[in-house]
Amino acid sequence: MTDLLFADARLLDPASGLDAPGALLVRDGRIADLGSNLGRPDGAVAIDCGGAVLCPGLVDMRAELGEPGGEHRETVASAAAAAAAGGITTLAALPDSRPAIDDPALVRLLRARGEETGSLTVLPYGAVTRGCRGEELAELGLLHEAGAVAFTDGARAIGPARLMRTALSYAAGFGARIVQHPEEPGLAAGGAATEGELATRLGLPGIPAAAEAILVARDIALARLTGGAVHFAHVSTAAALDLIRAAKAEGLAVTCDTAPPYFDLNETAIGDWRTYAKLSPPLRAEADRLAVVAALADGTIDAVASDHAPRDPDDKRLPFAQASAGGTGLATLLAVTLAQVHGGALPLARAIELLTAAPSRLLGAAAGTLAKGAAADLCLFDPDRAWQVTAGRLPGKAQNTPFDGRALEGRVIGTWKAGRRVFGG
Amino acid sequence: MRHLLAIEGMHPPHIAALLDLAESYVLLNRSGQTPRDRLRGRTLINLFFEDSTRTRTSFELAGKRLGADVINMTVATSSVNKGETLLDTAATLNAMNCDLLVVRHGASGAPALLAQKVDAGVINAGDGTHEHPTQALLDALTIRRHRGTLENLTVAICGDVLHSRVARSNIHLLMAMGARVRVVGPKTLMPGAVERLGAAVFHDMAAGLADADVVMMLRLQQERMARGLVPSAREYFRFYGLDAAKLAAARPGALVMHPGPMNRGVEIDSAIADHPQQSVIREQVEMGVAVRMAVLDVLSRGVGNA
């Protein structure tokens, strides 16, 4: 493999605090050297970055893949193509597929399916309960041994307090996190939108915003009780973020992420029955969106995940309450996050940290940094290049983006996996 | 006007014009001189995904009195893939070149979805808990004929507001026409932030009905009790059922309305429902046909030249 020299780049590596102009040398799929005065070794192919940002390949800590069982919506291969276009080189896959990832063999299968793409490392989550049905505990130990990075029932909340307590206690034994979909199931049942004026006008069954804070409060208490580690996925309300902020201050093993829709959109996006904007949790009021932005800046939110949920047209071309919840997010993850940088809410380095080093740390992954010797998983992007999201023209199979029509600044120029170019050029 | 999907967003002059036209149809209906050539050669399909004999019959009669060819389609909602049925049906109807499509569906927004897919003018005959525009129009016409105007009247809408498309359409229409609207009912049957729609919220009938010009009762479905939103029918009647004692709080001679079908002894006492002076419930049915004739008339002018 020929050496690659990324010249004239803005090297950005939040893991090491690096943000400086320079070059980066890739040899045998690994980062051989980087710095401001790096010469071109003989035989190295130079890539002129033209001052664009070179950062670690993004680490997406929450995405649904179509496989197994939903191949008509997305496959590992089509998701990998979308991920590469979005600068993502490592992705944690949710287990609530059909069958659910509740068996060690399925964990190994998903990892292997990722390797087959050559562009994406797939880190499988293991199911907390068998079939993600919320009844009996899955074989967490065996799943962990097979390579499950953490445990979750995906888009389904772990409802019974006793079950959550057991899961937290048991997983703590081998240092694994339980990732919760924080929505009190009884309050959320049958709901299609956040309860409030808009849901009332549209005649949609509402989910009170408090459904999130209630489960977060309970699980924080259970983390305190068990000493286990809980991670709240796609947190979307001010009340839940306040609870998480306090739990962190107390020193509990509590972490959380959010997804771009929750800091870029509010509930008005569902006006005119736009089912592409039907998500779970549902989009919130503007005050909650602002609280999410503030929590990204102050560190309450640890990471930003795509929350990619591929759906096909038949899932979405339905009356709103009957339509399936979920939106794609791989191709838009970086640019929508950068909108917060352009808007002045986040420094660029913090935004990239939320997409690289931070999720990598939470997953215990060997990714998300530009360290010497690390795999050359790289993302080269122009933070100012403008483009427009158009459903139907996105990379990958699923096109159900909640950002349809959104004008964005920040575009991936190229993505490299272990030194091999997998997007752009 | 191409479709009638919702009252929300309609301009007051449009509403007034529709009511004026409906008024003329009341007179024509009573004289038996309806213009049977008005919709001659036009096809109207009543597409009902929920059973509703009275609304369907009202639209059927309205269409026939204007000379339209009326076809009734009742689609079973029990089928597993209800959504697919909706768009498949839309494609079928489009191929049949129907001019006007009257849709009743259990899901909010279903008529709006259909309207995007068919060439016909779509009339929302009730969708989920969203809107029931022709019901609000017929209620307004009934009130206007008794009180001369809607402006500055106080209208109390009582009962299960949470699940009521009738309540939502009425709130929008009455607010647009300058009436004062109150919603009265137990807190478990109030939608979130309903006050943001402009209605004053009451949980006590005596306070909510005080000096009201119109008392509009809503139907309480049995399943609400099954879901525990209301403990029992007798408790509901005790606190929210309209009887003479509660009605006494309203202005003397206040109109009593109900969209039907009524649960006598649950939300309304029979003596009130059949009150010869104050109850206008039967008249609402008559106004329904006239209002629907007006809507079909206006929409048929829009179809083809939209």
Domain boundaries, chain A: 55-363
* Res B228: pLDDT: 87
* Res B77: pLDDT: 57
Q: Which two tokens stand for residue A87?
A: 């600068």
Question: Measured between beta carbons, which residues in chain B are less than 8 angstroms from residue A196?
Answer: 192-193
CB contact under 8 A, A201 and B108: no
Q: Chain A: residue nearest B165 by CA?
A: A203
Count the neighbouring beta carbons within 10 Å of the beta carbon of residue B231: 11
Average pLDDT, chain B: 93
* Res B86: pLDDT: 84
Would you please indicate which residues of A are annotated as catalytic (active-site) residues?
307
Question: Measured between beta carbons, which residues in chain B are less than 8 angstroms from residue A203?
Answer: 108-109, 127-131, 165, 168
Nearest to B128 among A203, A206, A323 (CB): A203
Q: Which two tokens stand for residue B206?
A: 């005596």
* Res B84: pLDDT: 61
* Res B223: pLDDT: 78
Kindly report whether the peptide bond that precedes residue B276 is cis, defined as omega within 30 degrees of 0. no
pLDDT confidence band for B92 (50 / 70 / 90): confident
Mean pLDDT of B102-107: 95
Q: Chain A: residue nearest B108 by CA?
A: A203
- Which parts of chain A sit beneath pLDDT 50? none
Query: pLDDT tens digit string along B201-225?
Result: 999 999 999 999 999 999 998 777 7
The whole-angstrom separation of Cα A371 and Cα A11 is: 11
* Res B175: pLDDT: 98
Q: Are strands A151-152 and A121-124 parallel, antiparallel or unpaired?
A: unpaired
pLDDT confidence band for B83 (50 / 70 / 90): low
CB contact under 8 A, A203 and B8: no
CB contact under 8 A, B192 and A206: yes
Measured torsion, CA atoms of residues B137, B140, B146, B151, in degrees rounded to the nearest 10: -150
Residue B82 confidence (pLDDT) above 90:
no
Q: What is the 3-state secondary structure (H, E, C) of chain A?
A: CCCEEEEEEEEEECCCCEEEEEEEEEECCEEEEEECCCCCCCCCEEEECCCCEEEECEEEEEECCCCCCCCCCCCHHHHHHHHHHCCEEEEEECCCCCCCCCCHHHHHHHHHHHHHHCCCEEEECEECEHHHCCCCECCHHHHHHHCCCCEECCCCCCCCHHHHHHHHHHHHCCCCEEEECCCCHHHHCCCCEECCHHHHHHCCCEECCHHHHHHHHHHHHHHHHHCCEEEECCCCCHHHHHHHHHHHHHCCCEEEEECHHHHHCCHHHHHHHCHHHCCCCCCCCHHHHHHHHHHHHHCCCCEECCCECCCCHHHHCCCHHHCCCCECCCCCHHHHHHHHHHCCCCCHHHHHHHHCHHHHHHHCCCCCCCCCCCECCEEEEEEEEEEECCCCCCCCCCCCCCCCCCEEEEEEEEEEECCEEEECC
* Res B91: pLDDT: 86
Least confident of A80-84, A354-358, B109-113, B300-304: B300-304
Distance from A272 to chain B by nearest Cα, in Å? 8
The CATH code of the domain at A55-363 is 3.20.20.140
* Res B305: pLDDT: 40
Q: Chain B: residue nearest A196 by CA?
A: B192
CB contact under 8 A, B165 and A203: yes
Distance from A240 to chain B by nearest Cα, in Å? 20
Residue B76 confidence (pLDDT) above 90:
no
Count the neighbouring beta carbons within 10 Å of the beta carbon of residue B52: 18
Question: Measured between beta carbons, which residues in chain A are less than 8 angstroms from residue B83?
Answer: 314, 317-319, 322-323
pLDDT confidence band for B303 (50 / 70 / 90): low
Question: Measured between beta carbons, which residues in chain A are less than 8 angstroms from residue B129?
Answer: 203-205
The whole-angstrom separation of Cα B48 and Cα A179 is: 44
pLDDT confidence band for B90 (50 / 70 / 90): confident
* Res B302: pLDDT: 72
Which value does ipTM take for this structure? 0.93
Q: Chain A: residue nearest B169 by CA?
A: A201
Query: pLDDT tens digit string along B244-257?
Result: 999 999 999 999 99
Residue B36 confidence (pLDDT) above 70:
yes
Question: Measured between beta carbons, which residues in chain A are less than 8 angstroms from residue B109?
Answer: 202-204, 273, 319-321
* Res B304: pLDDT: 45
Distance from A5 to chain B by nearest Cα, in Å? 53
pTM attached to this predicted model: 0.95
Residue B87 confidence (pLDDT) above 90:
no
Question: Taking every pair of C-alpha atoms in chain A, what is the biggest distance, in angstroms?
Answer: 68
Nearest to B108 among A272, A317, A321 (CB): A321
The residue whose two tokens read 């009195």 is B65
